[in-house]
Amino acid sequence: MVQVTEPNAGEILKAYLKSHGISQAFVARKMGISPQTFNAYVNGLYKFDADFAFSVATALDISPKIFLKKDYRKSVD
C-alpha cells in the first residue's frame, strides 16, 4: 500500500492541536477512540494512515490536506 500521509503527520497534528489549544483527549472523544489509542497514532506507535488522517480532519472540521504528502493533496479537493 502506498503511504499518502506525511512521515511526520503525527508531529503536524501535535503542532496543530497545541496552536489551537485543543487536547488529544477532546479529539479522541470526538473520534470515538480512547485517548491512549489517539496518542499511539500521534506518536507513531500506530500507522498514521489516510483513514486516520481523514477521521482526525473530520473530528476537527479541517481539511485532511495538512497530513497528506504534496502529491496527494490535489485529489482531496
* Four-residue CA torsion sign, 20, 22, 28, 32: negative
Distance (Å, whole) CA 75 – CA 13: 20
**What's the pLDDT tens digit per position in 10-68?**
999 999 999 999 999 999 999 999 999 999 999 999 999 999 999 999 999 999 999 99
| Structural Rg of the chain based on CA atoms | 12
pLDDT band at 70 (very low <50, low <70, confident <90, very high): confident
C-alpha cell, 18: 497545541
What domains are defined for the chain?
9-76 (1.10.260.40)
pTM: 0.84
